[in-house]
Structures are given as structure tokens and as C-alpha cells.
Amino acid sequence: MKDPVLVILAAGLGSRYGGLKQIDTVGNNGESIIDFSIYDAYQAGFRKVILIIRAEHEELFEENIGAKIRPFMDVVYAYQDVNDLPEGFICPEDRTKPWGTTHALLCTKKYIDGPFMIINADDFYGKKSYKIMYDFLKNEVNDKLFGMVGYQLTKTLTDNGAVTRAICKKDDNGNLEHIEEYQKIIRKNGVAYQIDNGEEVKLEDGICSMNYWGFTPAIFPLMEEDFINFLKEKLEVEKSELVIPTSVAHIVENKQADVKVMSTTDEWFGVTYPQDKEEVQNKITQYKEDDIYPFDLWA
């Protein structure tokens, strides 16, 4: 079994955040959330990272991320381009929005020949999750068994606005039985609600996916098949996108593979909205004061 690889989704536009939040500073020594993700992955055993970015952002990523971690990690850039579509499809001329995270995952195909995990750039997942996934990729994953690390729904919400979450249901074997994206989820008094036609509908506080997946290269033909089916229906639909949880749902429904659901007690947090940034900064400062992280991650 080849050594597991870390893949980070970092090509988003950050429309709600209002900027390139993937490399925005949140640490008191100039770190972004990606820095902590790569540091935690390194501590767990990962030695290669693939950053999925837009080609025009490579210089920024190299300056802020790549240059300082190259002494420790093999760094590769994979480019997500709206024009990079399967044979037979042509991107509409006015399309600027990326096609979603399924398309982003497919952009890494030529760089991966063994097990890998994939995460969001702007999510802080906690140390334990990387060890859980690394061990899974070293010992359990195969072409018919993929994995995910899930988080408690209410602990992934922000008090600063509505978010989208992929809510999961497990079968009796602990594998993913159903996953569905819910939009416009808010938290009030510690309870999750979905805003549906102006009404607040209470949601069960179960496990949700935060785009934390473990795969083998066997995922690529399955994702490509799903992406082609998506393009047949949505190519001309403005701002349409296909995301990994939706593709995984199709794979599970079609019994093409199982997905083991793992969970962690670690805290998740992220920067969906600009107002989230101060809370993230405070938590990271506290982690350093508690010696969970050194002041200089890459000293």
C-alpha cells in the first residue's frame, strides 16, 4: 500500500466571505487554516499534499503556503479550470463559477496512484481526525470501501448566517446509508433549524459531512461517470455545481462502493462569513496558549 496523500480543496471563490479565505491569516504568527491542516496531517504521517487551486492563484499559494512547508512535505498544485471538461462537452462562454468539488477532485487524477484523503481549505478539523483517517487509509481502505470523518451537526454551524450541510445516516454496519445536502441551516439556542419557505424546521442533531473523505484511485471513474451525467443535465444551467457528497450519495445508492462513517470528538470550526474570523482567531490563540500548537508551526 502506497503512503496516503493529503488533498486540499482550495479553488473556491469565497463569495460569501468576500475574498480568498483559503490563505487569509487567522493565526497569531501569520498562519491560515491550511497551515494548521497541513501541520496536523504531517503529525499524523502524511508527507505529500496536493492543493487544488485556480492557476492564477499559484503565486499567492506558493508565497503563503508552499514555500514554507516544502522542507517537510512534497507540494503539488492541481488546477481547477471551468474549461477542463470531459470529451464532448464545451464550457458556456459566460461561465466563471467552478463546477463544484466533484470536478475539483477529478483535477487530481493524474497526480494520485494510491490512497488519499480530501478536505476543505477553510475548515479546521482537529488533530485526532487526521490520525483516524491516516490509519484508515493505511489499514482498511480498498477499492470497494471508502471512508469519511463526520462531525456533530450543531457543532459545525455558525451564529453569523445560514450554511449548507450534508447530513448523514449510517446503516447497522456503520457505513453510509444516506447522505443529503440541506441548505439554509441556522443554529438558535444550540439547536439546528432549516429555513424552508420562510419557516424554521428543527433538524435532528446527527452526523454531517464536512467534506472529509478517504478514497483510492477507484473513486475517479465513479466520479467521472457522475460528473458526465450531471453535465448532460446541467451544462447550461447558470451556477450549477456537483459536490462530492452528492456524488458519494449516488455511489452508495448504486452500490458501487461502501463508505465507512468515522467520527471524532475534536472541534470543527471554519470561516464561512467574515464575522467568523475573530472567533477562529481566538480559538487558535487559545490552542497555542494551551501548547496544543507551537507558536511557529514550521520552525
Query: CB–CB of 283/36 below 8 Å?
Result: no
User: Region 112-127: what's the mean pLDDT?
Assistant: 95
Nearest C-alpha neighbor of 34 from the set 158, 106, 125: 125
The confidence score (pLDDT) of residue 14 equals 54
Q: In angstroms, rounded to a whole number, what is the distance separating the alpha carbons of residues 267 and 127?
A: 9
- Continuous segment of H or E residues that includes residue 150: strand 145-152
CATH superfamily, domain 5-151+208-289, is: Spore Coat Polysaccharide Biosynthesis Protein SpsA; Chain A (3.90.550.10)
Residue type, 164: T
| In the block, residue with C-alpha cell 450519495 | 249
The confidence score (pLDDT) of residue 271 equals 83
Residue 83 has pLDDT above 50, yes or no: yes
Q: In angstroms, rounded to a whole number, what is the distance separating the alpha carbons of residues 75 and 191?
A: 40
User: Region 151-157: what's the mean pLDDT?
Assistant: 92
Q: In angstroms, rounded to a whole number, what is the distance separating the alpha carbons of residues 150 and 154?
A: 12
Count CB-CB contacts under 10 A for residue 158.
Answer: 18
Residue 182 has pLDDT above 70, yes or no: yes
User: Region 30-54: what's the mean pLDDT?
Assistant: 96
Q: Which tens digits make up the pLDDT trace of 8-18?
A: 999 875 554 44
User: Region 22-51: what's the mean pLDDT?
Assistant: 94
Partners of 142 in the beta sheet? 145
pLDDT confidence bin for 24, thresholds 50/70/90: confident
Q: What is the mean pLDDT of the chain?
A: 93
Nearest C-alpha neighbor of 126 from the set 288, 261, 21, 265: 265
Partners of 183 in the beta sheet? none
pLDDT confidence bin for 264, thresholds 50/70/90: confident
User: Region 41-46: what's the mean pLDDT?
Assistant: 98
Nearest C-alpha neighbor of 181 from the set 245, 253, 242: 245
Partners of 201 in the beta sheet? 194
Q: What percent of the chain has pLDDT over 90?
A: 82
User: Region 226-243: what's the mean pLDDT?
Assistant: 96
Count CB-CB contacts under 10 A for residue 67.
Answer: 11
| In the block, residue with C-alpha cell 487569509 | 24
